[in-house]
Structure 1
Amino acid sequence: MKKFILSIVGAAVIFGAGAGTSFAAIEAPKLSESIDQVVGTPYKWGGTTTEGFDCSGFILYIFNQYDVQLPRTSKTQAETGTKLEKDELRPGDLVFFNTDGKGISHAGIYVGNGQFAHSSSSKGVIISKLSESYYEKRYVTARRVISGQDDAQ
């Protein structure tokens, strides 16, 4: 963990000046690259590999590449990190939705420009807009699970 925090600080110093919406712990270009590599992966309930992902398994897969440990389910992931308002979102933040009427039941990774990556039960890993009526109506909360994220927007 100590090495991870040091890498965050180093990345913030190196990439922070003029980086816009950079993600200091996981630089935005690297995060995008990691997500792009699995876009199109099919949905698989309980899936955590490139054979197939459920929504929280997709998040685990991406963040595990950067040694960020998270709980297994979207409901428990929504209890991790720092709570955010929608207007505070930065690439790498987690966004959560109530899609079944019973509380947190879906999650994704905010990628910037009002969009998030997630594993949709009907389309697999895709990029969607938070402003799409389906997600806008079901949005619940967001969490920042990486400390040391660049404050520039």
Structure 2
Amino acid sequence: MTTTRTSTISRRSFRGAALALFTGAGIALTPLTATADAGGPAAGAAAAPVAVAAAPVAAPNHAAQVAVDTALAQQGKPYVWGGTGPGGYDCSGLTFSAYQAAGVSIPRTSRAQSTAGVHVDRANLQPGDLIFFYDPVGHVGMYIGNGQMVHSSTYGKPVAVVPVDSMYGYNTARRVV
């Protein structure tokens, strides 16, 4: 069996370009969990059907949708302490910049952002809501629907989509639009 390896850089560049194309066209994307079939098709057999993503979860309003789309378009960019883009972001810089692109002014730091808008119960999260972690607050991500959030977590890890439940120390959530 021969496998071909694609460089991480070219995959990230293609992924970023494709994401920018879709978000520029106003198409929202949601992540899909990958699955693998260990058996795979036999030589010469037709390929198995590819799973198609479910309809994206729409944000409750235009500003929240722009913020979500903007944050998602930053996937793969590096964590930069104090970064507000476009080359890199820290957690609150990502949410700050995403809402700035939507024409909404929010504070710059995660702790200050945790006092903006109105409280949202975890069970009532909607795309665009800000989710805060730790006590005192020290991290923020943006809910994108389907139990997922986009965030810039720490040095060495790029902006990524992760399950909200994969983060420990949930503190609160706020809706800013």
TM-score by length of 1: 0.73
* Cα RMSD (Å): 1.8
Q: 1:19-38 maps to which residues of 2 (within 5 A)? A: 21-26=58-63, 28=65, 30-38=66-74
Q: Which residue of 1 aligns with 2:20?
A: none
Deviation readout 1:64-91 (Å, 9 max, x if unpaired): 1111001110000001110111011000
| Identity among equivalent pairs (%) | 36
Match for 1:42 among 61, 64, 78? 78
Mapped pair 1:105 → 2:141: no
Larger RCO (CA under 8 A, 6+ residues apart): 1
Paired with 1:72 and 1:66, the residues of 2 have a C-alpha distance of 15
Contact 2:129 2:174 in 1 (8 A): yes
Paired with 2:153 and 2:89, the residues of 1 have a C-alpha distance of 9
| Structure number with larger C-alpha Rg | 2
Aligned amino acid, residue 113 of structure 1: N
Q: 1:6-25 maps to which residues of 2 (within 5 A)? A: 21-25=58-62
CA drift at 1:31:
4.3
DSSP-derived class of the 1:123 partner: coil
DSSP-derived class of the 1:104 partner: coil
Q: Which residue of 2 aligns with 1:13?
A: none
Give the number of aligned pairs: 121
Contact 2:96 2:108 in 1 (8 A): yes
Aligned amino acid, residue 141 of structure 2: G
Mapped pair 1:95 → 2:131: yes
Structure 2 unaligned blocks of 5 or more = 1-55
DSSP-derived class of the 1:52 partner: coil
TM-score by length of 2: 0.63
* Moved >6 Å (runs of 4+): none
Aligned amino acid, residue 140 of structure 1: N
Mapped pair 1:128 → 2:128: no
Paired with 1:21 and 1:33, the residues of 2 have a C-alpha distance of 10
CA drift at 1:22:
3.2
Q: Which residue of 1 aligns with 2:170?
A: 139
